[in-house]
Amino acid sequence: MNDFLFIVGLLTALGGGLLAVIARNLFHAAIGLAATLAGTACLFVPIGGEFVAVIQVLVYLGAVAVSIVFILMLSPPFYLKRVHRNALKLLGAVIVTLVVAVPLFAAALAAGPAKGSTAAAPTVQQIGRALLTEFVFPFEIISVLLTVAIIGAIVIARDLPEDEQAVLAEKVPAVKEVDA
């Protein structure tokens, strides 16, 4: 059962990740991201992370991925614009990725042998207890951060008043062609 979940999660996560970076249509990329997040939730189950898997589906898949799809649906369809492939930039991206890949793979393969895991997987009770005792400070900071982020998002995304828009229009020359 665990091996089955691992294989399913691995294929979903890797396939989704590949789609998320190579899809030309950004909507497909968002779907790929959603697949990766679901696959990751699958991967958490065999290593005793049932609770985290549920939270991953609820928050990551249900809120973050959906909000990305929302912005693609609500905005002008810039995600349909074809990007001119620039061979030089593509080559640069591949080189940077390979340079980053070497030390990361070395570190992953050199990771010490796992300790024999006989302890039972942590229960939700343990996680809740740790959140409200040992980690209560970061827990509270995160709640403040989320509130600030929501208020900040509203402030940034709101419409500017007319006079400020006029001032801005003088300063920022209109970009005619949209090639996003």
Q: Which of residues 64-123 bind another protein (CB under 8 A)?
A: 64, 67-68, 70-72, 75-76, 78-79, 83, 89-90, 92-94, 96-97, 100-101, 104-105, 107-109, 111-115, 117-122
Q: Which is nearer to another protein, 97 or 166 (CB)?
A: 97
- Other CB atoms within a 10 A radius of the CB of residue 4 amount to 10
Q: How far is the CB of 139 from another protein (least distance, A)?
A: 8
Least gap, CB of 65 to another protein (angstroms): 8
Residues 138-167 that bind another protein (CB under 8 A): 138, 142, 145-146, 149-150, 152-154, 156-157, 160
Which residue lies nearer to another protein by CB, 90 or 166? 90
**SS3 assignment, position 19:** helix
Q: How far apart are CA 64 and CA 42, in angstroms?
A: 18
In this structure, the number of other CB atoms found within 10 A of the CB of residue 13 comes to: 19
Cα separation of 14 and 52, whole Å? 20
Q: Interaction with another protein in 7-46: which residues (CB under 8 A)?
A: 7, 10, 13-14, 17-18, 20-21, 26, 29-30, 32-33, 36-37, 40, 43-44, 46
Structure tokens of 37?
A: 């997040």
Pick the closer one to another protein by CB: 101 or 166: 101
Cβ at position 82, least distance to another protein in Å? 12
Q: How many CB atoms lie within 10 A of CB 29?
A: 19
Q: Cα–chain-centroid distance for residue 108?
A: 21
For residue 98, the minimal CB distance to another protein (Å) is 9
Burial-class residue 5 by CB neighbours within 10 Å (0-12, 13-18, 19+): middle
